[in-house]
Amino acid sequence: MSRADDSQKRRREILAAALHCFHAHGYEKTTLADIRDRAGASIGSIYHHFGGKEQIFAALYLDAIAKAQSFNLRALRRARTLEQAVHGLVRSYLQWVNTHRELAGFVLTMRRAEFMQDAEEDLERINRKFRKELDDWLAQYDDGRLAGIAPDILFALLIGPSEEFARRWLRGKTTTALRRAANSLAEAAWLSLSGLGGRGR
């Protein structure tokens, strides 16, 4: 293994350890010593890769967003109609939540804006890449039904209700099975978007 590969492996180990500690103890009660012990890394290695707990938090958040978007884009690329895309993105998002519960819980329940200030440029870059692929797909497959919907409204209708359900599901505050919820939320997203049509502006 090259030095660069070894460095990336250590970085991933530290992030995985931090995720476990944040999930188990909460951000405030987690110490760098906790992360060090869980990762089997030295404090020096943690500072080398991240600089401190706040930077670990921001890096973990960026990593989670990138992974969730990559997961969702695979569903988008498989779609050949607008309805398939809407259903696929909602179901894919909730599947990612189910498969990566700790990471999804971190993103949905632990975001701390004060730690993200230095990472805003990286977050915008990640989001811009996702939006471009979504826009490129829509340019190819949208039949004009979504033409009048502002992008921020479109995304809120597409994913917003699923995010709220996932947030409550992760806290054990729901009674509906996730798969059933995914079907209902996917259909609701499709009906709301296709019904809104050119009246979104």
pLDDT (tens digit, 9 = 90+) per residue, 41-61?
999 999 999 988 999 999 999
> According to CATH, where is 1.10.357.10 located in the chain?
57-199
pLDDT band, residue 149 (cuts 50/70/90):
confident
Whole-angstrom distance, CA of residue 166 vs CA of residue 170: 6
pLDDT band for 201, please (50, 70, 90 cuts). very low
| Predicted local confidence at residue 200, as pLDDT | 40
Count of other CB atoms within 10 angstroms of residue 103: 22
Taking all residues of the chain, what is their mean pLDDT, rounded to a whole number?
Answer: 89
pTM beyond 0.85: yes
Mean pLDDT, residues 98-103: 94
On the question of pLDDT at 101 being above 50, the answer is: yes
Q: What is the pLDDT of residue 117?
A: 76
CATH classification code of 1-51: 1.10.10.60
**Comparing 62-66, 96-100, 171-175, 193-197, which segment has the lowest mean pLDDT?**
193-197
The mean pLDDT of 72-76, rounded to a whole number, is 94
CB-based burial label for 184 (10 Å; 0-12, 13-18, 19+): middle
Average pLDDT over residues 148-156: 86
Contact 189, 158 (CB under 8 A): yes
Note the CATH number of domain 57-199: 1.10.357.10
Of the candidates 185, 183, 192, 116, the residue with the CA atom closest to the CA atom of residue 154: 192
The whole-number average pLDDT for the span 91-113 is 89
Whole-Å CA distances, 165 to 32, 36, 105, 153, 185: 32, 34, 12, 18, 9
Chain centroid, CA 8 distance in Å: 21
Residue 172 CA: distances (Å) to CA of 50, 101, 178? 33, 12, 11
Chain region(s) in the chain for CATH 1.10.10.60: 1-51
| Token representation of residue 167 | 């947030």
Banded model confidence at residue 1, pLDDT cuts 50, 70, 90 = low
Mind listing the pLDDT tens digit for each residue in 108-139? Answer: 987 666 667 778 889 899 999 999 999 899 88
